[in-house]
Chain A
Amino acid sequence: MTHELIQDACHLLQGEISPDTGIQLNISNEDVLPFAKLLEKYEMTAVRRQRLLSIYIAIKLALSRHSACDAASNGEALTRLVLDGDYLYSFYVQLCLGWQEIDLLVHLAPVIKQIQIKRAGGKFEDERLFKGMELYLRLESNRARQSQAI
C-alpha cells in the first residue's frame, strides 16, 4: 500500500511539473518511504495523502539537485541542476497554494530557510524537513481532536 502511495504521488507530481523542464523524478524509494509510512498513520483522504507526499518529494528533489551541484562539471549539467532545484523550490510553493495547503506552507517556510542557512554554512541538516512535516501533521491532528472534543 505504501509503495502504491509513492507511485501515485510521483505520478501526480510528474503530471504537474511543466514538460518544458525535462525533470524526471529519479528519487529513491528509501528517500520517501519514511514519510509515506508516516502519512499512512494519519487520517486524511487518499488524495490529500498523495498531495502531501508530492510536496515532500518536490522539496526533497530540490534539495538533492542543488546538493549535487558541487560534484557537477560546468556547462549544461550544472545549469540543469541549478535550474531544476530553483524550479522545484518555487514549484512546491505553487503546489501548496494551489492545493490550499497554506498552513503547511507557512509552517514549512522557516524550516526550509533553516536548512538553507545550515547548507550555506557547509552543514547538511536536511532531516529538518521530515521533522518539520512530522510536527505539522501532529499539530494538525491535535487541533482536529481538540475541536472535535469541543
Chain B
Amino acid sequence: MKLKLDEALDIPLRSVDREIENIVKHDKDVPRSSTLAKSIIDLVRSGGKRVRPLMVIVGSRFGPSPDERKIWRLAAAAEFIHAASLIHDDIIDDSPVRRGQKALHVKIGINEALHVGNYMSARVIELISVYSADRERYVYDLSSLATTQLCLGEYQQLVHLYDYNVTVEEYLEKSRNKTAQLMATCLRIGAQAAGANEETADLLYSFGEKLGMAFQIRDDILDFTQSAEKLGKPAGSDLRKGQVTLPVLYALQDEELAPSIRAISADTPAEVTDLVIAAIQHSDALQKSECLSAQYLDEARDIINRLSHYPAHRDLLVLLQYFGGRES
C-alpha cells in the first residue's frame, strides 16, 4: 500500500494538527465557545494534507540545530496562513464546499468568514513576534510569510479572466506568486530556523519553487482530466470561470481549436463550453503541459543531487515523488 506523505516523511500529522489547533486554543483573547474558535477548529479538523507544515519540518532537517518547538510552531503558522487564504479564496470563487463540508462563508456568512481569515493572519503576526528569538529572525520570518505576492497572483488572475492573449510567461509568473512562492518559503524558513547555511536554504527555496510550479501545472491539468465526481465540480471548471490555464494556452496554439476557445465568455452556454473542453481534452495540450510539469520536476531532481550529502535529501525525493505522481 502506498504510504501517505506524512508517513513517508515520518512526521506525525496528529501532532501537526494539534500544534495548529493550539494557535487558537492558546489565544487568551478568544473564548473557546466563540464562533471564531469553533470555526477554526472545525476547519483544521476537516482535514488537509498539511503540505506546507511538512515542508517547514523537512527544511529544518537540513540545519545543524533544529529547535523542535520553534520549528513546529513555524510549521503550524504556515498552515494557518494557508488556511486563512483558503477561507478568502472560497468567498472569491463562491465555492460552497471545502474538504467535504460547507465552506465557512456558507456556514457563518461572508463578512464573518472574512474576519475569521483576517484573525488567523493577524494571530500569526502576533505569534511570530513571540517565537522569533531575535529581531532579524522576526523580520525574516514575517516577510517570508507575508501574502502580498499571493494577492498579486490573484489580481493577475482577475485581470486576465477570459483573456486569451495572456502569455505562458504571464501564466508562470501568476503561478509562482499564487502557489510556488509559499511552498518554497516553507522549506527555506524551516532550514534557516534550524541554522542551515544560506546556500542550502537558497537551494531548498529553489527546489520548493520548482515543485510548486509542477504542482500548479498538475492541478490545472487535473481540472481537465479528472472526473466531475472526483473533482467535486464539472471538468474544465477553470475555463468555465474564465481562468486561462496552461492547457488552454497550449490548446490556443492549435489553429483549428483556437477560434472556438477564444469565443468562450461568461455568457457562453454550458453545452457549448462542454464541446470546447472535450476538444482540449483530446488535443495535445495536456501532453505539452505535462511535459513542462515534468521539466520542473527534473530541475527539482537536479537540486536534490546537489544536496545529496545531507541525509534529509531523501525527504526531498519523497516530496518529488509525491508531487510527481500526484493524482488528487
Contact = CB atoms under 8 A, between A and B. Distances in A.
B114 A69 contact: yes
B111 A70 contact: yes
A141 interface: no
B30 A117 contact: yes
Contacts of B148: 18, 87, 90-91, 94
B119 A82 contact: no
Contact of B91 (A78, A87, A110, A121): A78
A79 B139 CA distance: 30
Contacts of B129: 105-106, 109
A30 interface: no
B206 to A, nearest CB: 23
Interface residues of A, number: 38
Q: Interface of chain A, helix or strand or loop or mixed? A: helix
B143 A94 contact: yes
Given A66-B118, A109-B129, A120 B35 contact: yes
Nearest to B151: A87
A32 interface: no
B34 interface: yes
Contacts of A112: 122, 125
Nearest to A74: B94
The 5 tightest CB contacts between A and B, nearest first, are: A113-B122, A120-B115, A109-B126, A87-B151, A116-B119
13 contacts: A22-B159, A66-B114, A76-B158, A82-B91, A83-B158, A90-B150, A94-B148, A105-B129, A106-B138, A109-B126, A113-B122, A113-B126, A120-B112
Given A90-B147, A120-B116, 14 more contacts: A20-B156, A20-B159, A66-B111, A66-B115, A78-B110, A82-B92, A82-B114, A86-B85, A86-B88, A91-B148, A93-B146, A97-B146, A106-B138, A117-B119
